[in-house]
Amino acid sequence: MPKAVRRLAAVGVAVGLAATATACSIGPEHRSVAPLAQISVSNAAAQNGIAELEPATALKKTIAAMEATGSYRVSGTTTSGKAIDITFDVGVGSVGTINTGNPMQILAADGSVFVSGDADSMSALVGADADETIAGKWIHITPDSESGFDIFADGATFAQAVLGAGAPSEMTGVAEVDGRLAVGLLFPETGATLWVAAIGEPLPLRFEEKGASAGKGILTFTDFGEPVEIQPPTDDELLDVEDLPAE
């Protein structure tokens, strides 16, 4: 396996693990991690009936509602400092940026995932000897590369990987989250909380890792149903991992 492929796989796995923090964090107790300035208790009831469901059923309904919108954006930073800002077109692909220390662009279409970056980012990713060759090019991440980038291939895949990775067993009362009424699905095994809209469609609003603070450990879901422009790379913009330096 070329050195560049190994580095790509390492970055992809790091991003994948960060995004699927629900499945990767382990902690026997749940505790609230929401900043008090952003979340306040409300006496209102959940008008869409989401609070009347069992937590696991509520999660399934939330994922189905999000996928039914056709598109959505997820953005934020994990507790470890890894950042994502990606818009998904369900059944089509995705486009956005990820940052695990070096910012990179990511694009997915027709089941294929591509990554790109400037000279510094690509040099750090595949080796200093390759920066002039591939800076600004799109690298095709093949399905058999065993990288963690595959969770970004489609909105449904990401939703299942992140939101469906664990099973909530508790639910909070109604609270105000970023100006909207919501209920929290609690994941005791991980200490994570998924805030779901309590009015209208039960769409996910915010996902919090255990230990979230100062803006880290929070992913927000927005732009539901908005148009998404995904333009796959042309042949002259594209590189396969096999074209990268072996050492």
Do 88 and 226 form a contact (C-beta atoms < 8 A)? no
172, two tokens: 């909070």
* Token pair for 232: 């796959």
Note the pLDDT tens digit of each residue in 62-77.
999 999 999 999 999 8
Can you give the residue ranges of every domain in the chain? 3-230
- Between CA 89 and CA 152 the distance in angstroms is 11
132 phi and psi angles, rounded to 5 deg: -70, -25
Could you tell me the CA-to-CA distances from 74 to 65, 131, 204, 205 in Å, in that order? 15, 29, 10, 10
pLDDT at 137: 83
3-state DSSP helix/strand/coil % of the chain, to nearest 5: 30, 30, 40
DSSP state of 225: T
What was the pLDDT predicted at 15?
52
Reported as a single tens digit per residue, the pLDDT across 217-234 is 899 999 999 999 999 999
* Residue 125 dihedral angles phi and psi, to the nearest 5°: -80, -45
pLDDT tops 70 at residue 20: no
Question: What sign has the CA pseudo-torsion 142, 121, 228, 197?
Answer: positive
- 30-34, 52-56, 92-96 — which is least confidently predicted? 30-34
Taking 60 as the threshold, does the pLDDT of residue 41 lie above it?
Answer: no
Tens of pLDDT, residues 187-211 = 988 888 999 999 999 999 999 988 8
Task: Tell whether pTM > 0.95.
Answer: no
Looking at residue 125, what is its pLDDT?
67
Q: Which residues contact 154 (CB under 8 A, 6 or more apart)?
A: 88, 90, 91, 92, 93, 94, 108, 111
Q: Does domain 3-230 correspond to CATH entry 3.10.450?
A: no
